[in-house]
Chain A
């Protein structure tokens, strides 16, 4: 069983610059064909200050700016091969653009189990602020550990 006393543990702040080249690779990977998401000129022509990030890119920022110790596989010690992604949500508070410098902070918000402990659930909440300290995205991920 995962150590419930670690609920509330945080990743520490992580910083990352949002790069157009990374956005382009992300769009290529998901079949996104609208260049506003990676081409600055196309974004400006469409009325954006720079390329807006696609809706689920916030989850990628988590991977691209990893914590020194991953909360789920490191702090909690859950084996990677037994984890599945159960749920994901994003709340959008302020737009994020290419060129922004983001600050990520993740926290173990909850741990619970179902099926007599056969499945454990870890809730990770992450906030993503921009360089003006505006909250842009609040993310909530539920990881499922199969025992």
Chain B
């Protein structure tokens, strides 16, 4: 069920190692409607084109938290749901409707925190033209 990395492979991690990234299908209006229902975030700027236009945007755009959730998938797909200690992002650019989001990550450093071995990883979400929409990092427990 879980595609999580083995304990042996975790123990062998090195800075610079790439996380298993992926690119999502194009974000549609349906994606954003489902996300509004799945999260309870009903902000009309993401689902109501008239509201978005009235506030200076050409169209609705994706919730930033949708791309952060994609990066969360990357993390739990890699190490499973129990190893995360922290996860933070900065939202750098808007993700337009129709965009495919490319999620990637890389091991930045290995840390020993009071006997707990951890890795700090860098995370990025980007548009097909290379624009970085989210950048952040996370700390995962190795053992």
What are 18 A-B interface contacts by the 8 Å CB criterion? A25-B38, A26-B39, A30-B35, A30-B70, A34-B2, A34-B3, A34-B76, A48-B81, A55-B75, A56-B72, A81-B54, A87-B89, A88-B68, A89-B87, A89-B88, A91-B85, A92-B84, A95-B81
The size class of the interface chain A forms with chain B is: 35 or more
Contact with A along B51-70 (1 / 0, CB 8 A): 10011000000011110111
Q: B residues near A, CB below 8 A?
A: 1-3, 24-25, 31, 34-35, 37-45, 51, 54-55, 63-66, 68-70, 72-73, 75-77, 81-82, 84-91, 94
Whole-angstrom distance between the Cβ of A99 and the nearest chain B Cβ? 15
Of the listed stretches A4-12, A59-67, A103-111, name the one at the interface; the rest are far from the partner chain. A59-67
Chain B residues, CB < 8 A from A66: 40
Q: Give bound CA distance, A87 to B39, whole Å.
A: 17
Chain A residues, CB < 8 A from B94: 84
Chain B residues, CB < 8 A from A95: 81-82
Interchain CB contact under 8 A, A63 and B64: no
Chain B residues, CB < 8 A from A46: 1-2
Q: Give bound CA distance, A32 to B35, whole Å.
A: 12
Q: From known contacts A46-B2, A52-B81, A56-B72, infer whether A63 and B89 are also in contact, taking CB-CB under 8 Å.
A: no
Chain A residues, CB < 8 A from B2: 34, 36, 46
Interchain CB contact under 8 A, B64 and A36: no
Does A131 have its Cβ within 8 Å of any Cβ on chain B?
no
Interchain CB contact under 8 A, B37 and A29: yes
Interchain CB contact under 8 A, B43 and A88: no
Q: Give bound CA distance, A25 to B34, whole Å.
A: 7
Chain B residues, CB < 8 A from A55: 69, 72, 75-76, 81, 84, 87
Whole-angstrom distance between the Cβ of A126 and the nearest chain B Cβ? 14
Neighbour of A63 across the interface among B31, B41, B55, B70, CB < 8 A = B41
Q: Give bound CA distance, A35 to B1, whole Å.
A: 8
Interchain CB contact under 8 A, B39 and A88: no
Neighbour of A85 across the interface among B34, B65, B73, CB < 8 A = B65
Q: From known contacts A81-B55, A91-B86, A92-B86, infer whether A56 and B68 are also in contact, taking CB-CB under 8 Å.
A: yes
Whole-angstrom distance between the Cβ of B60 and the nearest chain A Cβ? 12
Whole-angstrom distance between the Cβ of A46 and the nearest chain B Cβ? 5
Neighbour of A32 across the interface among B39, B73, B87, CB < 8 A = B73
Q: Which of B1, B54, B70 has the most CB of A within 10 A?
A: B1
Q: Which of A27, A31, A80, A82 has the most CB of B within 10 A?
A: A31
Q: Give bound CA distance, A29 to B69, whole Å.
A: 10
Does A119 have its Cβ within 8 Å of any Cβ on chain B?
no
Q: Give bound CA distance, A21 to B65, whole Å.
A: 20
